[in-house]
Structure 1
């Protein structure tokens, strides 16, 4: 019986070490993307107007691409009426989500209500770190990243 417990603990340790290595590799990838000088950042902005034509919110989308149009990072800053302001960061490796950071703020923008990081291997979530009680489902994050990636591909052509 003890032998089975030790084997289970050892296998669990190996699995957790494997995930830590993967998250460390992803962290390194994110840092490398942020430090690259050969990538070009473009921005697209949309305003939300009320019925009187007054701007009450909007979305800014920043895309980091190489000379071939491959997208490495998308940052979306979202501020809409009756919604908390939010920042979404998505990092891609060959069109596959690798890392995401989601931050949503209270209505005044003075405190975060969602502050989470997501590590992916393909469509599989490796690790999720939630720094606040509120969080976004990892599958929803992946789907939102796909929306922005498809949008980004249309604008870079």
Structure 2
């Protein structure tokens, strides 16, 4: 009967299997949903966005905003979502801020617990520069609301 009526089932592709890695370091949430900053270069938030192109390919964008005025201070798009992309975006953000003094150790960079931000490469880069890392709880986007496009007061 299905053949006579030209009815066919549609099968969805299976999700690729994902193996969870072990984070090099996970930092406590020092931002604690306090999304206000009294001065520039005090609190930055960062996250990745997936870009789906019309040809079926993907790109990954890493962006950093300053919570003082919610301005985008760095954004880089690449074919691969890596710790190197996160690191290059942070380098770009630092170089875009004239007069930033990292020696005072006042800069807090908040992210999710993505492998790019918990990697040895990225965490050591932040430690070497005196940047304090802060991370959202796993699976809880409200801790990084300014980057997740969740409305906040």
Q: TM-score, normalised by structure 2?
A: 0.28
User: Which structure has the highest strand share of the two?
Assistant: 1
Q: TM-score, normalised by structure 1?
A: 0.28
User: Which structure has the highest helix share of the two?
Assistant: 1
